[in-house]
Amino acid sequence: MSWLRRMWSRKFDQSSDDDYYREIQIPRFFLATSGIWTEHVKTNRIRFSIFVTILILFAALPRLLGLFTIVNENQLFYQIGSLLFYVNVICAMFLLRFNSDIRRSVLAEMRDDWETTHDVEDKQVMQYYAEYSRKVSLLVITVRGVSLIGKFRSLNPLITSIIRGDNMSTGKKKYPFLPSGTFFDTVSSICYLIARIVSTVTMIGIDTFFAILTIHTCGQLVILAKRITRYRGQTHHQFGENIPRTCSCLKCIVDSHVRICDFVKRIDNYFYIVFFMRLLVGVIDLACSGFELSKAIAKGEYAYLMTFVISTLSTSSTFLINCSVAETCQQAGYALGDAAYSVEWITKQPRILRHLIFIIRQTRLPLKFTAGKYFILSRSLFKEYFLTAMSYISTLITIKLGK
């Protein structure tokens, strides 16, 4: 485990190339494991095929077939929620893999940011936000990991029955085409957990990749804000100098802001369908779970309430993290205008003031990440999404208890 300890303890104070690879290290590992990261084309194609096959055969297909063997409403809503979750993961894998050109262009931009000559202060800003992105990634891994560990508890009674030689059935058939019994229930549970591990690895890669991209953008916006405060009225630098990312002339400031806006747009184009599907599936899943919860409470089965709370918190927490980092990037974009406002205007010449007003107008362009190009990812979106779902569930519970 010493290599793992060294990986986490090493700071962002190496060469620019080392810092870049360290910044993308976590999402690169998880996305390469699932075959989405198309760096080594042949091996990643094999991994991608294996992961998709596991998700289809061990999870999505059994849930689809299970819809034809349903005997009550509880099974119906469970199968629908579970099926939509795995369909969402499979679709996200295909979307991100076959949009690899966007991912390569974004990563090339990030690498250029690290390789560009920065002064010590700018370098420290990039290292700070890179370290911050690793902490957010660790939080995502923890949340997803806790949710996954809870799934392993279903194996405990089955393993105990095998050891004792009992023939026990859980009564919950994950695969409708298998006979009942301890052995077959154990095999089906193991297959289901394998599919769950595969989906968790994939979702960790997607969430951490989005986090490091947005937080990296925050660092670039902070550096640009410092360049704005250093503006001295120069419209352009001398001909032949290739310093657009460090120069504080008007042209380079505007060009850098346009470049960052384009960077954000490419990130949004890479993820917007994925987040729209996640939002849609999350709403449907909460509605289905809420219906089951209302029936369980009406029958006095309060054990399901704890299961629902843990499941809801684990699935909602990662979406909250995505919304939070997206809003942090938006706030960093608005801070550019504040940086221009903070300049001592009274000491500036009229020509410089006109340039500052132009910069402020440019920085008013909102930087946003969306779900389906319609919903802007932010904490307010998550609040509306969560409170609406809770209101719906509380209404169902009230109706059930009133009968």
Banded model confidence at residue 220, pLDDT cuts 50, 70, 90: very high
What does the domain layout of the chain look like in residue ranges? 14-402
**Alpha-carbon dihedral angle through residues 191, 197, 203, 204, given to the nearest 10 degrees:** 180
How far apart are alpha carbons 141 and 269 in whole angstroms?
A: 24
The whole-number average pLDDT for the span 364-378 is: 86
d(CA 349, CA 346): 8
pLDDT in tens, 253-306: 778 888 888 999 999 999 999 999 998 888 887 777 776 666 666 676 666 666
Bin 372: left if φ > 0, else alpha if -120 < ψ < 50, else beta: left
CB 400 within 8 A of CB 294: yes
Report the share of the chain in percent with pLDDT over 90.
28
pLDDT tens digits, 155-164: 555 555 554 5
pLDDT at 214 over 90: yes
User: Which band of pLDDT confidence, cut at 50, 70 and 90, is reported for residue 3?
Assistant: very low
Which residue from 334, 378, 101 is spatially nearest to 224, judged by alpha carbons? 334
Q: Which residues touch 325 (CB under 8 Å, ≥6 apart)?
A: 136, 210, 211, 214, 215
Q: So what's the pLDDT on residue 129?
A: 92
CB 62 within 8 A of CB 51: no
Q: Whole-number mean pLDDT of the chain?
A: 78
Q: Report how far residue 262's alpha carbon sits from residue 281's, in angstroms, rounded to the nearest whole number.
A: 29
Q: Tell me what the mean pLDDT of segment 17-37 comes to.
A: 89
> What is the C-alpha separation between 389 and 387, in angstroms, rounded?
5
CB 205 within 8 A of CB 36: yes
pTM for the full model? 0.86
Average pLDDT over residues 108-129: 85
pLDDT above 70 for 119: yes
Q: Give residue 353's pLDDT band: very low, low, confident or very high (50, 70, 90).
A: low
pLDDT digits (tens, 9 = 90+) for 185-203: 677 778 888 898 999 999 9
Looking at residue 315, its pLDDT comes to 74
